[in-house]
Every structure is written in C-alpha cells, then in structure tokens.
Structure 1
Amino acid sequence: MADVLKVTTPLSGYDNSTIKNNPQAGQDVQIQNPVDPSKVTRGDNRTNSGGDGEQQLAFQYRSNFGTFLSMVKNVPDLSKVLADIFFQGEEMLTGGVMGEEAAKRIASFFKAAQMNEEDLLPFLKEQAEASVRFSGGIFDRLRSAMADTNSVDLKADILNFIKKFNDMSSGKHILNDIFRTIKDMENYVFKQTKEQMEELLKELDLSAGEGDTAHNSTLLKEKILPFLGRYIAMNHDMGTIRDKISLLTVLMSRYENGDKEEVMQAFSKLTGYQGFRKFFGGMTVDEFGHLLSQVDMDQAAGKNEWADKFLDFLRTGVSGGTGLENKQMFHQMLQSLLLSESVYMPLLHLAFPVDINGKKLFSEMWIDPDEEGSSTQAGVKRVARIFVKFDIRDLGQFKLLLLYGENTAALQLYYPENMKKSEGNIQKGLKAILEKYHFRIENLYLQAGGGPNSPVEVFPKIQERKNSVDVRI
C-alpha cells in the first residue's frame, strides 16, 4: 500500500515529537498532475494503464466492448482464409491422410457449394431467412409493442418471453450438446465411473420434442449432476472435467428454461399489459398454444441444411481431420465467425462459398437493414447499409458498399488493381444489372484497389457503445 502521509515511525514508539519531516515536502509547491475539468479522468490524472499520457504500460484495463472492437479490427480475414481453402479444393485438405468419415464430410460440403446461376438468388434468400431467428406475425407484433411502449417492465417481460421461446425452439440442439458434453467427460474419469455414466446416459431421452423437458431435466438435476459432483468431491478432480461441469450446468439451465409450460406462463404474463393487448387484442393463452403447435421449430431454431454441412466442415478442420497443418486456419475461421455473431455486433452477417458452373467465389456480407433506427416507429425512414467482400478465383477480392433508402442511394465498388483497364466494362455491367432489377442509384463510384477491410470502418453503429460505461468482470 502506498505511504500516503510520507511519515516514518521511530523504533522507540509513536512519539509525535520524533516524527520526521517528509524530505519531499517543500521542494515544489506546484500541483502535480493537475486535473482537466473538461475531461473525465482519474483523480491523479493517470490513464487507464497506470501511467501518464506519455508513459503507457503494456497491460491495459480494457472493457469487454473495447476488447470486442479490438478483435473485430485484428481478427484474421475470413474472406482470405476460407477463400484460400475453398479455391484449392479438396486436394489441399485431403492429401491422402484424411480418415474416411472426415473425407465424407469435406466432400459433402464441397458438393453442397455447387449450384447454377438460377439457384444463387433462392440460396441467398434461404440463408438470410435462416439467420433471422425471430420472424413471423407474432414477433412482428412483439417488435411493434417494444417500440411503442415506455414501460420498462413490459419490455423486460417481452425479452424474457423471447428468451424462453428461443430455448424451447433450440431444445433438441441443446439436448444433443448436453449428451456430447457428458460423453466427452467420460474421457477424463476412471473406467468404473465411465461405465456408471454410460448407464445414466441411457436414461436420457434424445427423442424428446421441443418444450417436453420434464423427464430429462429431472434426470439431469437429480441423478447425473449430483453423481458428477460426488466424483469431483471424492477424487478432488479440479481439472478439465470440473470446467466441463460448468458448461453442463449452463446447458441444463437453458434446456429447463425452454419448457413449454414456462413459455406459456411467460405469454400469459404479457396479456396483463395494456401495451401488449394493443397489438395482440384479446388473444388468449389457449389461442397462443394453438399457434405454437403450428410453428416449425427447426426453422425457428435456425436449422439450415447447407449451414449444417458447413459446420461439419469446420468441425472436421478444427479437430485436425484435414491435417494438423490446416488446423490453425480452421481455428481462425471459427474465431472470425463467432465474433460476427457477438452480442455486440448489431448486424446481420452472412458468409458462404459457392461454385457456380465451375467458377468458385467466396462472399461475406454485413447488413444493417435499418441503420437510421427502428423501422417499427412511425415517421422513421428506413435506410439499409450493406458491406460485401467477395473473392473470385483468378480475379481477386472485390469490396462493395451500398447505402439505400427512400430518397438516397449510393454504391461504391473497389475492384482488384489488375482489372483497372476493365473499369469501363465493369461500370457498364453494373448499370445493366441495376436497370434489370429496377434499382435506382444516384451515385456510382468505382476504384481500383483500396476500400475498407473491417465492418467497423463501414458501420458507425458498431461503436455506439464506445462512450458508454462498460466494465470487464
């Protein structure tokens, strides 16, 4: 602890007459580290790193959001990494060392990427719709209720309902994650314990439907979790299995939260709000239950056949199935994808490689369909901002920025420098495409090379929280 008073204590005891003068006192009467009232700083005018403005220490006290911004700017370019793998094809990944199961997954992914020109637009629509978890009449009305009300309680209960619905629609996926987590734990326990865990897992009903969680939740809470707790207590195992139990408890909580009765009760609570009834009328809980029975839970959970094959492709690479030399590249791809799905990322993110009639390209796009605010609010004009990066084999990387609204439209295209002589043809082709689809553009700008690399450079909304108070726990 710092010696604030700058005094010394004699060996003989606390005698006021023997207190020595501070040798630093009186040398400089000027105030050290004066505080600038125009800025919010520490009391001693030090920076967050513990030094002054000219002396920065290596360790930084950064907020969660600040870390997110730094990662977005520095994360490996998914377009570059995945395009390299996709363009080189299966030969680059197999090399004669891949197992049969891994080879099937890789081949299935490359086959799913093959399509014709007329298949591309439906494919894009399918991927965009699968990325929107909450769509349909019920959620449109919930958005309207959220935008219209000033009640904090109503907004909190709407979000609570959505959370429960989300966990219910993802019930099968969460249950499979629970099963895989427990199976993975078997690799870290003794043989006798492993056999006991396998017997307990046989009681887990993997065929249970979404919302039907009672049996499995009881089994997990009353048998499996206590059994694992006793194992750790008896063997003092504080290693990997203890960390996996932490993950298991989170999954169990989500699974139980998705019980159908919980969802119905959350909806029943909403019917007590006048702001809710304004958009839902006199809809009863029974009527809502009837609507719920007609919902496609696979679609609500974001299930998508192409995405599943893409995930199998990533799992194979991350686990080393495509060779240890490629493992790091798959880790970089996974890191980039997860970052784009962060709670701090207020954008729709799509990434997909396609093989159109033998021509391979990889595209990644970020979409803000309503950058001016909430489209549910009356009088608010909707403006969409889109940032696309696409890499075409043998040509290079393109970057496209599109701002489109009721009264404003602008398009910027940055193309590879080796195509500079073809700029006239590119411009002519773009105009033809825009006219074909009745897309009115007031400003069209083309440039060879350059352009933004990160969505942070394109979407100011990402940094909206930059000036708010945020802490790291």
Structure 2
Amino acid sequence: MADVLKVTTPLSGYDNSTIKNNPQAGQGPQIQNPVDPTRVTRGDNRTNAGGNGEQQLAFQYRSNFGSFLNMVRNIPDLSKIFTDIFFQGEEMLTGGVMGQEAAERIAAFFKAAQMNEEDILPFLKEQAESNVKFSGGLFDQLRMVMADTNSVDLKSDVLNFIRKFNDMSSGKHILGDIFRTLREMESYVYKQTREQIQEMLKELDMLAQEGDTSKNSTLLKDKIMPFLGRYISANHDMGTIRDKISLLTVLISRYENGNREDVLQAFQRLTGYQGFRKYFGTVTMEQFSSLLDQVDMDQAAGKNEWSEKFLDFLRTGVSGGTGLENKQTFLNMMNSMILNESVYMPLLHLAFPFNINGKKLFTEMWIDPDEQGSSTQAGIKRVARIFVKFDIRELGQFKLLLVYGGDASSLQLYYPERMQKSEGAIQKGMKAILEQHQLRIDNLYLQAGGGPNSPVEVFPKIQERKNSVDVRI
C-alpha cells in the first residue's frame, strides 16, 4: 500500500507527523514531455544518449558485413602468432610432448619451408596459381561473358555452371570430409549403432573419380542418412551428433551437385545464349566432355603439396599434438586463415614461411591484381595493389605497400625502428631490386616503424559494401 499512497518512511523511523510530498503531485493536468515532430525519439521523448549516468542499450544491431569488418580489424596478427611457433623450429620437436606421428608432420612442414633464394619466385607463382581456383582459358572466357552481358539469366547460369564444376573438381576432397565426419560420429553413438555405421562405410567407394558420384550419393541418401535420422528419432539425441548430421547434409548436397552429367547439362544450357556463343562459338557438349577428360582435377581444386603439409601442421596443433598450451595458438592461426578466405574478402591472400640458408622469415600478403575492375575494359590500364607483412627473425617486422600501374606507381616500406641508421642502405638496396626486375616506381617512401596493420586500412574495396543493405540472419 505504501507505493500506492505515495507515502515514504522518514529517516527517523515511523513518524506519522512527517510525510514527504509526492514528487508527482501538483504538476497540473498538462501533457508532460511533449513530442518534438522534428526529431525521432522514443515514445516517452527519451533518448539513450547516456547522459547523467543513464545506461545505454546493451544490444547493437550490426550486419554480417559489419561483423566481418570488426573481425578483420581485431583478429590476432597472424604474423606475430606464426613467428612465435615457426621461429622455434626444431625446438618444438624436442619438447617431449609429441607422439611420433605428430613429430613427423611438424618436421615435414619445417623441411618444406627450407629453400634456396632461386626457389622463392617459382614457389610464389605456384602458390598464387593454386589459390586462383578458376584459372585457364575456359574461365578467362567465362569472365569475358560475364563482363559483356546484361542478361541476368546468362549470369545466373554461368555461376550455376561454375558451382557445379567446383563441386565436381573437389569431389574427392568432399568425399573425404564425408568419410571423416561419419567416423567422428562413431564416438557419440552406442556400440551397436557404431558397428552399423562402420559396416555401411565399407560400402563407400573412396576411389570414385571426380564426377562419378551416383553410387556413393545413393548409398548416402537412401541408406546412411535415413539410418542416422532413425537413430536421432529413437534416442532423442539432440547433441553433437545432430550438429554433425547437419554438416553431413551440406557435404552430401555438394558431392551430389558435382555429378559429371549435371556439369555437362549446365554447360549445354549455356550454349543456348548468344552472349555465350560470341566467345565460345559452336562448342558442343561432346567436345566439352572431351575437354573435361583432360582437366587436372587436383589443380582445378587448388590442391597443392606444400598446402597439404601446412594443413597437416595446423591439424596437428589444433588437435593438441604439439601440447595443450599451444592449442589456442593454432586455433588463432586457423581462424585468421579462414577469415581471409571469407566471401567478403575480395583479395588474394597468401601466407608462408621461408627458411633460406638458415635465415627464417614469415610472409603474409594481400593482393588485388585489378583494384579498379578495369581488366575487361579496353584502353584502361590495370592497377594492382599489394600489401605485404614479413618478419625476419634477426631483424623484426617489415610492412610494404605497393600500388603499381596506371599513371603513377608508388612503394612504401616500413622497417623496424632499430634499423633507422641503415635507411640509406635499405633505400639503395630497394632501388637495385626494382631495377633488376625492371619495375618503374615514381615514388619510393621509407619510414622507421608504423605503417598499416590491417588490410582494411589499405584496400578501400573491402569496405565497398558498407553502404549497401545487409542484415544479420
């Protein structure tokens, strides 16, 4: 009742002779907090500016792209993380925490990083080519088709063909992921169910060629997935096993999408467009089928021997093979690599270590070979923008920003502060390297320390979507 009557208790106790006035009394019947039509406010004419200790709203509504930009800015520095591991070298192998298999994988990776100076340029070209998945004459022509047409249907069918070709070329890799996911499920089910899964896995043809998906797809969709569905229904298991089934569903869909006949049908549909025939002529489905037989699917899928060893290196660390104290470090490395492969990242990203005659360095680079999108426009020079961070064990971290092409080219190099006395020698060496490779640089800028830390600071193209409508799902 005290609240209803607006009666307060004085500090001296329950003294009826002292009753404080109701603060809301005597204000008159007039409207309080009138609404200002020139401002957008809350219903009670209050804002959340946070003045006078007012608590601000805890929720922040951000888009997927906004979250991506924040992650790029705040992700731990891969160069710093990787050098802490790589510069230890073989010392990791003598820590006494690794089993033989883990030690062999780590040793194989360190050995792959050893090379001579003349091996570096071919290595860089190989890594760049393997990262550009859709390369070659076929995809060069498809890019011209996309740039030349205004037909939404043609563009949609070109993208549909590329998706199917991508899934076909990655068929063995996807099948391997399906197999590993099913094997991981065995740890979360009862013994009898585990034995049944193992028997069904024996029917899976792991040697099936890319595009030959019919047999495995039928087994997965008609036998394995219904069996797992019945297990979930009977045991009401809504934990990890259910999450892995969701992943398995996506993998099976991709695997089936890479069926060779579906790829050929997608190509045949393209031949019905005049904009397509303008660049491909009268190529028939039979001719394209013969062309597919000559394609190196491993190369088309971006498979690379050095990359495989690097992935083994990451898997070993993430699984705790190098010691549990290093597990988070490897997870940070993996998250950084994955983020740089995001659909929102319009750049080629490369990261690799070198051990050149005993001198160790780690390099990470972001490349935009055509930042103005002019490669398909006649008479317009292409401008490339490159951002490189590299750590040399004995010296420290360097940052290099190169803009090359167009009317003027520039190069900025930020070097460790302790080398400031050697700036003249650095400048002389840089000019010699540029002359050796016949590169024309109009502006050469050197600075001790500082420089950009994130590609967001260097490439305006990353933030192009900021002004578009994007929602979080």
For the criterion TM > 0.5, the same-fold answer is yes
Give the AA of the match of 2:441: I
Check conservation: 1:113, 1:354, Cα contact below 8 A: yes
The residue number in structure 1 matching 2:467 is 467
Equivalence for 1:369: 369
Pair 1:312 & 2:317 matched: no
* Paired AA for residue 97 in structure 1: V
Partner of 1:284: 284
> What letter is aligned with 1:233?
S
- The one-letter code sitting in structure 2 at the alignment partner of 1:382 is R
**Cα pair 1:73 1:456 within 8 Å, conserved:** yes
**Alignment-derived partner of residue 60 in structure 2:** 60
**Who is 2:39 aligned against?**
34
Report what 1:4 is aligned to.
none
Q: Matched residues in 2 for 1:96 and 1:432: separation?
A: 46
Distance 1:217 1:322 in 2: 37
**Maintained 8 Å contact 1:45/1:52:** no
CA 1:46–1:151 in 2, change beyond 3 Å: closer, same or farther? farther
Cα distance in 2 for partners of 1:44, 1:297 equals: 62
Matched, 1:388 2:393: no
What amino acid is aligned across from residue 271 of structure 1 in structure 2? T
Q: Which residue of 1 aligns with 2:118?
A: 118
**SS of equivalent to 1:216:** helix
CA contact (8 A) 2:370 2:382 kept: yes
**Contact preservation (8 Å) 1:33, 1:45:** no
1:18 aligns with: none
Paired residue type of 1:286: E
Cα displacement (A) at 1:379: 3.3
Residue pairs, 1:331-342, within 5 angstroms: 331-342=331-342
Task: Quote the offset at 1:30 in angstroms.
Answer: 4.7
Q: Which runs of 5+ in 1 are unaligned?
A: 1-21, 36-41
Q: How does 1:288-299 map to 2 (within 5 A)?
A: 288-299=288-299
TM-superposed deviation, 1:463: 0.2
Q: RMSD of the TM alignment (CA)?
A: 1.9
What residue is the counterpart of 1:192 in the other structure?
A: 192
* Contact preservation (8 Å) 2:35, 2:45: no
- 1:31 aligned counterpart, secondary structure: coil
Which secondary structure state, in structure 2, belongs to the residue aligned with residue 124 of structure 1?
A: helix
The verdict on how the C-alpha distance between 1:372 and 1:417 changes in structure 2, with shifts beyond 3 A counting, is same
The CA distance in 2 between the partners of 1:457 and 1:102, in whole Å, is 38
- Give the 3 Å change call, closer, same or farther, for CA 421–355 of structure 1 in structure 2: same
* CA drift at 1:97: 1.4
Q: Residue 327 of structure 2 aligns with which residue?
A: 327
Report the alpha carbon displacement of residue 140 of structure 1 after superposing the two structures with TM: 0.3
In the alignment, the residues of structure 1 paired with residue 95 and residue 453 of structure 2 have an alpha-carbon distance, to the nearest angstrom, of: 32
2:93–2:103 contact (8 Å) kept in structure 1: no
Write the mapping of 1:2-17 to structure 2, written as runs, cut at 5 A. Answer: none
Task: Please show how residues 144-223 of structure 1 align to structure 2 within 5 Å.
Answer: 144-223=144-223
What do the CA deviations read for 1:187-227 (whole angstroms, capped 9, x no partner)?
00000000000000000000000000000000000000000
1:390 and 1:398 in contact (8 A); partners too: yes
Identity within the alignment, %:
75
Q: Which residue of 1 aligns with 2:12?
A: none
- Please list the CA deviations of residues 283-330 of structure 1 after superposition, one character each: whole Å capped at 9, or x if unmatched: 111111111110000000000000000000000000000000000100
- Separation of aligned partners in 2, 1:114 and 1:51: 58
CA contact (8 A) 1:94 1:322 kept: no
Q: Structure 1 residue 185: deviation in Å?
A: 0.1
- Structure 1 residues 190, 445: CA separation in 2 closer, same or farther (over 3 Å shift)? same
SS in 2 for 1:470: coil
Residue 269 (structure 2) aligns with:
269
Q: Distance in 2 between matches of 1:383 and 1:46?
A: 52
SS in 2 for 1:251: helix
Matched with 1:345 is 345
Post-superposition shift, 1:31?
1.3
Alpha-carbon distance change, 437 to 199 in structure 1, aligned in 2, over 3 angstroms: same
Q: Any idea what SS the aligned residue of 1:129 has?
A: helix
* Residue of structure 2 equivalent to 1:13: none
Separation in 1, partners of 2:296, 2:113: 25
* Partner in structure 2 of residue 96 of structure 1: 96
Q: Quick check: 2:399–2:414 contact (8 Å CA) kept in 1?
A: yes
The Cα of 1:90 is off from its aligned counterpart by 2.6
Deviation per CA, 1:5-49: give whole Å up to 9, x if none: xxxxxxxxxxxxxxxxx99861243517704xxxxxx997999xx
- What amino acid is the match of 1:34? R
Matched residue of 1:207: which SS?
coil
Distance (whole Å) between structure 2 residues aligned to residue 200 and residue 463 of structure 1: 48
The one-letter code matched in structure 1 to 2:433 is I
Partner Cα distance (1:83, 1:46) in 2: 55
Counterpart of 2:270 in structure 1: which amino acid? L
Unmatched tracts of structure 2, length 5 or more: 1-26
Question: Judging changes above 3 Å, is the alpha-carbon distance between structure 1 residues 46 and 465 closer, same or farther for their aligned structure 2 residues?
Answer: farther
Query: How many Å separate the matches in 2 of 1:23 and 1:326?
Result: 69
- Change in CA separation of 1:390 and 1:24 when aligned onto 2, cut-off 3 Å: farther
Per-residue Cα deviation, 1:35-93 (whole angstroms, up to 9, x for no partner): 4xxxxxx997999xx94486643331111000000000000000000011101113136
Q: CA deviation at 1:376?
A: 1.4
Deviation string 1:416-445 (CA, Å, 9 cap, x unpaired) is: 000000000000000000001111100000
Corresponding residue SS for 2:36? coil
| TM-score normalised by the chain length of structure 2 | 0.91
Structure 1 residues 283 and 430 mapped into 2: Cα distance closer, same or farther (>3 Å)? same
Partner of residue 435, structure 1: 435
Equivalent pair of 2:33/2:44 in contact (CA under 8 Å): no
Distance of 2:422 and 2:278 partners within structure 1: 57
Q: Which amino acid aligns with 1:26?
A: I
State the one-letter code of the partner of 2:368.
D
Tell me which residue corresponds to 1:106.
106
- Output the amino acid matched with 2:152: V
